[in-house]
Structure 1
Amino acid sequence: MGNNTLFENAKTRNLGLLILRAGVGILFFVFGWQKIAGGEQVWNGVGSAMQFVGISAWPVFWGLMATLAEFAGGLLLALGLFTRPAAAFLAFTMIMATILKGATGTGIIDWYAPFTMLLIMTFFILNGGGVYSIDSVLRAKKHSGNLAA
């Protein structure tokens, strides 16, 4: 098959990247919003994951930080704005979620979801948001501005 087939087309790959980025970003945003609405009790539970890496102080603070990472990071990821930093914060959050689920769960069924999201965030850290992202638009404006100077 040649390079013009549907599944080898750069446009199709970029569209797939957009769908993945926006879909996963929206999921994080919605879950983050639910945790924000859950308040201090939820944040305390989320932040308790830090005890598994030796940090037992301020679980509400850590839980709020994880919640904000999911909420704001999810929105930024969906938009493709500051994709790599947003994915990095989300990756750290998913590392902690994987550790928490691994330590408190009953096996792979409990930690595969945060681990899968960690893998996806690693992809976005390495590759950015793609051509259909605000990052790409800003980069193009920056480069076109440099050429005019």
Structure 2
Amino acid sequence: MGNTQLFDNAKTKNLGFLILRAGVGILFFVFGWQKIAGGEQVWNGVGSAMQFVGISAWPLFWGLMATLAEFAGGLLLAIGLFTRPAAAFLAFTMIMATILKGATGAGIIDWYAPFTMLLIMIFFIMNGGGIYSIDSVLRSKKHTGGLVA
């Protein structure tokens, strides 16, 4: 068995899904918690990024929405519940973060992190949470009439 065959099976790929989903979800959850703890001053600063797409009204609201997307979306992503919608909200947040970093003249060192997270969110929007997710368990129950196969 060659090295490539060792990692060429569905179980390993699904474990990779779980590790990526849970790891990235926990990161978002922790960063979201820090922003929640920062309060209105932090939310206002985060929400002011909307001005770079022509929206200058309600920065506090937009900042709170981004904070909740990271906090709740990170938790949902980590456990694999509503993975695609959570990833979509996080993707929008990462689009705005990437625009903010680019618009403020930051170099690639500053915007590569939100852009990388955006790419990961696109992956989860397209692929879902994988077999080791609550979404998968719920799908199994739906298809088996409530019994987990």
**TM-score (structure 2 length as normaliser):** 0.94
Letter in 2 for 1:62: W
Provide the secondary structure at the position in 2 that maps to 1:17.
helix
1:135 matched to 2:126:
no
- After TM superposition, list the pairs within 5 Å mapping 1:1-149 onto structure 2: 5-145=5-145
Provide the secondary structure at the position in 2 that maps to 1:5.
helix
Superimposed CA distance per residue, residues 101-120 of structure 1 (whole angstroms, 9 cap, x where no aligned partner): 11114211110000000000
Q: 1:113 and 1:31 mapped to 2: Cα distance?
A: 13
Superimposed CA distance per residue, residues 89-145 of structure 1 (whole angstroms, 9 cap, x where no aligned partner): 000000000000111142111100000000000000000000000000000000000
Cα deviation, residue 35, structure 1 = 0.1
Q: 1:6 and 1:130 mapped to 2: Cα distance?
A: 20
**Root-mean-square deviation (CA), in Å?**
1.5
Provide the secondary structure at the position in 1 that maps to 2:16.
helix
Cα deviation, residue 146, structure 1 = 7.7
Q: 1:18 and 1:106 mapped to 2: Cα distance?
A: 32
The percentage of aligned residue pairs carrying the same residue is 90
Structure 1 unaligned blocks of 5 or more:
none
Q: 2:8 and 2:57 mapped to 1: Cα distance?
A: 50
What is the aligned length?
Answer: 146
Q: 2:146 and 2:63 mapped to 1: Cα distance?
A: 42
Structure 2 unaligned blocks of 5 or more:
none
Q: 1:18 and 1:107 mapped to 2: Cα distance?
A: 32
**TM-score (structure 1 length as normaliser):** 0.94
Superimposed CA distance per residue, residues 43-64 of structure 1 (whole angstroms, 9 cap, x where no aligned partner): 0110011000000001010000
Superposition misfits of 4+ residues, deviation over 6 angstroms: none
Q: 1:77 and 1:105 mapped to 2: Cα distance?
A: 31
